[in-house]
Structures are given as C-alpha cells and as structure tokens.
Amino acid sequence: MKLRPPIHMPSLLAGVAGALAARVALSRLLLAKFRRDVAALNEGDYGSILSAYSEDAVLTFADGDHRWAGQHHGKEALERFFKNFVAARIRGDIRELYVAGPPWRLTLIVRFDDRAEDDDRGEIYRNRTVVLVRTRWGRVVEQEDFYENTERIAAFEARLRELGIAPIGD
C-alpha cells in the first residue's frame, strides 16, 4: 500500500493565501495600468493602450450607423478605432475593474463611463459601459463593449458629422 504524503496544512494555507494575495496584487496592478492608459487616451495619446493588445486582437462593438461599428481585427484596425475615439474628444473614466481566471488567460470586466463635450453646447455624449476583456499572457486578445444605450452612439455620430468631425478611415 502506498502512503500518501501528509498534507502540510500550514503550507497549504500559505499557498491559498499567496494565490489570493497575488490575485489582489494583479488586480491592483492592472487597474493602475488601465487608469494610466485611459488618462493618456483622454489626453489624445492612444499608444499606451494600443500596446496592451495582441497583434491578432479582436474588438467587437455594436453595429450601427457610426464610425466604431462592427468588429475590428488586428492592430491597424484598433489604431483607427482609437484615433476616432481621440478625434471625437471622448473622455473615459474607469469606475471598477474585476479580474478572473489564471494569469495566462485572464478575464477583465471594466466598468467604464465615457462622455464627450463640444465647446458650444457642453456635453453631447454620455454613456455607462461595461468592457469585457480576455487576455492571453497579459495581452488583450478579445474585447466586447456593452452600453447602457447604444442609440446614444448613433446620435453622437450625427452630432460629430454636424460639427465636421469626419471619421478616420482606412
């Protein structure tokens, strides 16, 4: 009969506690990085947030009559997506971030509020958002954006066109 090695409870507890502490630390690190990236994006610098995506990343956005519609495959398409974000003078705030899964395949859920102002009319766009992000070894591979109201995006698009802010295309 084989004898199982005894489970060393203090080691096991230390391991569990270590894993939980690592998850908390990772969550804080990611939150800090996302806050820095979004702060830079708000100032018109999309380079930092773009670097978080893998070369084959896919961002899926609601269909509709607006410049962000549909699926965006790969870095070039994502760069256009963020250029349009910056050109539309959208400003975002991360409210919360939740991290699930192992480090090599994390799922991030980001509660994000975005808004845009026009010099004459003040606020012309506001939405509450949840961004669902899947990563592979720390790089974003998939992103889905969910909105409190996607019709506000189409209305915002119409306002941007009135203001002469054309979409940045291929």
Partner 1 sequence: MQNEPPEVEVVRRLFQAVENRDLTPMYEIYDPAVVIREAESLPYGGEHRGHKGMLEHATGYLRAWDRLQTEDDRRLEPQFFASGDQVFVRWRQKAHADDGRAVDLPAVSVYRLRGGRVIEATMHHFDTAALLGLVAREEGAP
Binding residues (CB under 8 A) for partner 1: these are 62-64, 96, 98, 100, 107, 109, 111, 128-130, 132, 144-151, 154
Q: Tell me whether residue 12 or residue 76 sits nearer to partner 1 (CB atom).
A: 12
Q: Tell me whether residue 64 or residue 74 sits nearer to partner 1 (CB atom).
A: 64
Least distance (Å) from partner 1 to the CB of residue 5? Answer: 25
Q: Tell me whether residue 76 or residue 96 sits nearer to partner 1 (CB atom).
A: 96
CA–CA distance, 75 with 77 (Å, rounded to integer):
6
Contacts within 8 Å (CB) and 24+ apart, 116-122: 116/88, 116/89, 116/90, 116/91, 116/156, 117/89, 117/91, 118/89, 118/159, 118/163
Q: Tell me whether residue 86 or residue 132 sits nearer to partner 1 (CB atom).
A: 132
Least distance (Å) from partner 1 to the CB of residue 107? Answer: 7
Phi/psi of residue 132, nearest 5 degrees: -105, 120
36 to 10, 41, 44, 47: CA distances (angstroms):
38, 9, 13, 12
Least distance (Å) from partner 1 to the CB of residue 59? Answer: 13
Q: Is 46 helix (H, G, I), strand (E, B) or coil?
A: coil
Least distance (Å) from partner 1 to the CB of residue 170? Answer: 24
